[in-house]
Amino acid sequence: MQRTTSPIELSSRLIESLGIRSSLFHMGRYCGQWQASTQGRRRASFHLILHGECYLHRPGQPVCALREGDAVFLLRDINHRITPDKAGSSAACNTMQPLEQTNRAGTGLACGFFELGGQTAELLTASLPACLIFARDGVAMQGARPVFELLLKEAYDQQAPASALIERLTELLFLYLLRAAADDSDQPRGVLALAQEPRFAPLLESLLENPQQEWTLEEMAAQVHLSRAAFCKQFSELCGLPPARFLQLLRMSIAAGRLRNGASVRDTAEQVGYHSIAAFSRVFRNVLGVTPGEYRRQPGTHIKTNEQKMLTH
């Protein structure tokens, strides 16, 4: 296939196809002793620092100082909490108070959840770290600053801040930050690494457009003008997974996206190259941890932890 999409365009297209939908959990001001967390709900989540300072605590990770204008996006449900002090005091927590335009004491937070509905959401998020932290003076946040300012303006609206508008602005902010982070990444992994590598991007585009095709290693190697052995070696080094396993994950991620959009299990299986529903269901469960029928009823991001580790390290 003759390719017209540049690596940067392909990477952006993958991110823009995520279908991000956010929901606001709580928004307000904390003073004194407090802690905030969205863990335990098996959902991706976010924390936006509206004013003040605080600290992000994660087991096994250095404590991260956060200040006004910073954003934290957790692509998976991980153990974490945000506190007003570096020590992470476990003292009794004060209740969140409403935001006030004239009172910036304490720390203002907007916290919530988001769903990723694109056809390659599982594979794309598995290729990214579980926790993405964007500093207000970082490269990624600089271009997104106008969006954050609009979000702040709405959050401090004294009449009645519109949660729906804040949610849409959060989606736009996350989309912009993800794209900037992917473009600025020194060592992308997984599907993003393939999308940004000129030699492998045409192959990835072909796989995305024709997941039902019976791809062999020889056919994939021919697209990048390498021998089978050289192709397998270079692909694995770049992506973090062998070509056959990556193709399997890609197909299951596309299948998950189609199931989320209401496609039947039978049609979905055929659309990603499986003529046997039993074989498709077996692979789908192996990759995502649930059957296609279960996923169709309760969609979510489920790529198994071993794949996440292989793609992000």
Q: Looking at residues 222-231, what average pLDDT do you find?
A: 95
Residue 9 has pLDDT above 80, yes or no: no
pLDDT for res 235: 94
Distances (CA, A) of 154 to 27, 29, 161, 166, 176: 12, 15, 6, 7, 19
pLDDT for res 299: 61
What are 246-269's pLDDT values in tens digits?
999 889 988 988 888 889 999 999
**CA–CA separation, 148 vs 141, rounded Å?**
9
The model's confidence at residue 76, banded by pLDDT at 50, 70 and 90, is: confident
pLDDT for res 2: 45
Could you tell me whether strands 81-83 and 107-116 are parallel, antiparallel, or unpaired per DSSP bridges? Answer: unpaired
pLDDT for res 143: 81
How many CA within 13 A on the CB side of residue 219? 11
Exposed, middle or buried, 137 (CB in 10 Å: 0-12/13-18/19+)? exposed
pLDDT for res 229: 96
Length of the chain: 313
Residue 105 has pLDDT above 70, yes or no: yes
**CA–CA separation, 192 vs 312, rounded Å?**
11
Contact by Cβ (8 Å): 99, 27: yes
Distances (CA, A) of 79 to 5, 202, 299: 39, 38, 22
Please tell me the pTM assigned to this model: 0.76
Which residues, 6 or more positions from 150, have their beta carbon under 8 angstroms from its beta carbon?
169
Q: Looking at residues 58-73, what average pLDDT do you find?
A: 94
Contact by Cβ (8 Å): 114, 48: no
3-state SS class at 110 = strand
| Amino acid making up residue 16 | E
In percent, how much of the chain has pLDDT > 90?
Answer: 37
Contact by Cβ (8 Å): 111, 57: no
Exposed, middle or buried, 228 (CB in 10 Å: 0-12/13-18/19+)? middle
Lowest mean pLDDT among 183-192, 246-255, 271-280, 299-308: 299-308
The highest-confidence range among 150-154, 211-215, 235-239, by mean pLDDT, is 211-215
Residue 113's H or E segment, with its range, is strand 107-116
Average pLDDT value for the chain: 84
pLDDT for res 48: 94
The model's confidence at residue 313, banded by pLDDT at 50, 70 and 90, is: very low
What are 301-311's pLDDT values in tens digits?
555 555 555 45
Contact by Cβ (8 Å): 133, 82: no
Q: Which of 128, 133, 137, 112 is nearest to 23 (CA)?
A: 112
Contact by Cβ (8 Å): 167, 112: yes
